[in-house]
Amino acid sequence: MHDFVRELYPLCRSITGEGLRITLSAAGRRLEGFEVRSVPSGTRVNDWEVPDEWNIRDAFVADVHGDRVIDFKRHNLHVVNYSTPVRRRVTRDELIEHVHTLPDRPGLIPYRTTYYDRTWGFCLEHERLPELTEPEYDVVIDATLEPGELNYGELVVPGAMEREVLISTHVCHPSLANDNLSGVALAVWLAQYVLGLEGRRYTYRFLFIPGTIGAITWLSLNPAAISRTLGGLVVALVGAPGPFHYKATSVGDARIDRVVRRTLGTRGAEFVERPFHPYGYDERQYNSPGYRLPIGSLTRTPHGEFPEYHTSADNLDLVKAETLGESLDVFTEIVRRFESERVVRSRYPFGEPQLGRRGLYDRLGGAGATDRRMAMLWVLNQADGDHSVDDIAERSGLSREAIDAAATILADAGVVTEV
Ligand code: ZN
């Protein structure tokens, strides 16, 4: 996984363009069945429109002697992502208006974008600003911003059921390793794990999408898949050390929320759960009111909460192979729980079924009868196909064994069916 991050790190990705396509094909080479989708610029997607495609070949600020003082070829963060093409001589003052720095972290190049505002800019280590002493500079951004396409990657791994688990990761950042190449690597390796699972119950859908516009595009074009989605996760920031942070779904008590809590809760390591809030990554699109897909977000240290975030320090040293591996273990455990936890669905969900007629009360006598009756009532109440035996045990406070036994009695009597 770390080699994969290293391979893709130098590319100048964006929400469209060649760097994104090369990244998607690198993922596709490792995943049988992976498809790269193309949506033309100008396509209406809900309240948005697919933007023109951006491609960049070179960019620099040079002094009048032709010496490059800011150079895209040294680091692609030096150019504001999605800058319009420019080629002219500017005064130092005009240049400075287009230069972004981080005064509080003077040694780092910031990451800036201008997707929906047509302008240009450069990013520079703040400590290098005093080097810009000449009265005039030549500014060149050799880029194109014209009709093309938006691309995203999609892999559907079918299971016995149509119900889908969605794993989504953004794939639009240039030379930044933890955000977002760690997420891309994890999604590729998790997909390989899922492809290798025999007798899958659920269908899994992996999305490798440009942030915001990619999620909105996918949501706009895939109403059928949306209706089959049971829940899922946005994957990001899984390569740098730090405790796991789980941001719950908008409903807060979806199957994915419970499975992630159990997975993190049984590891014995520190983890943090936060309620849903409408900021962050694409979980905000999936959880929007027209969809309300129960998609949580699982990261290590969240965005904006580590000093390297969105700077040149988010590099190949920040991301550790060991951390990537540990993160992958957690995600595969989540899939394993989805696959292995017992789930039953009531065949008589409209009110309680009549237990006496089926002789089920007869089997509840003796010591512990009250608990056994309550276990049965809990199973009947929660047997909507989205609650596992583990979920019902947690909710009821009864033992997993008691719930499991009640589910078996009800299944034998034909009152519930195994999902
Ligand atoms: Zn980011």
% residues pLDDT > 70 (the chain):
98
CB atoms within 10 A of CB 376: 24
pLDDT single digits (tens) 3-14: 999 999 999 999
CA distance 293 to 154: 18
Residue 312 CA to ligand 1 centre (angstroms)? 12
Closest CA to 234 of 255, 266, 256: 256
pLDDT at 356: 87
CA distance 389 to 383: 9
Q: What does DSSP assign to residue 52? A: P
Residue 310 CA to ligand 1 centre (angstroms)? 6
pLDDT at 367: 64
Residue 200 CA to ligand 1 centre (angstroms)? 33
Q: Are 250 and 276 in contact (CB under 8 A)?
A: yes
* Positions in the chain whose pLDDT score sits under 50: none
What the chain holds in terms of domains, given with CATH numbers, is: 2-51+149-340 (3.40.630.10), 56-146 (3.50.30.90), 343-418 (1.10.10.10)
Bridge partners (DSSP) listed for residue 205: 156, 166
Residue 131 CA to ligand 1 centre (angstroms)? 29
pLDDT at 361: 74
Residue 72 CA to ligand 1 centre (angstroms)? 19
Residue 323 CA to ligand 1 centre (angstroms)? 19
pLDDT at 366: 64
pLDDT at 365: 59
Residue 176 CA to ligand 1 centre (angstroms)? 8
pLDDT at 369: 75
Q: What's the order of all strands across the beta sheet hosting 203-209?
A: 35-40, 149-157, 203-209, 164-170, 229-235, 295-299, 244-247, 271-274
Residue 297 CA to ligand 1 centre (angstroms)? 14
Residue 180 CA to ligand 1 centre (angstroms)? 7
CA distance 286 to 264: 23
pLDDT at 370: 79
Residue 341 CA to ligand 1 centre (angstroms)? 34
Residue 327 CA to ligand 1 centre (angstroms)? 19
Residue 179 CA to ligand 1 centre (angstroms)? 5
pLDDT single digits (tens) 36-53: 999 999 999 999 999 999
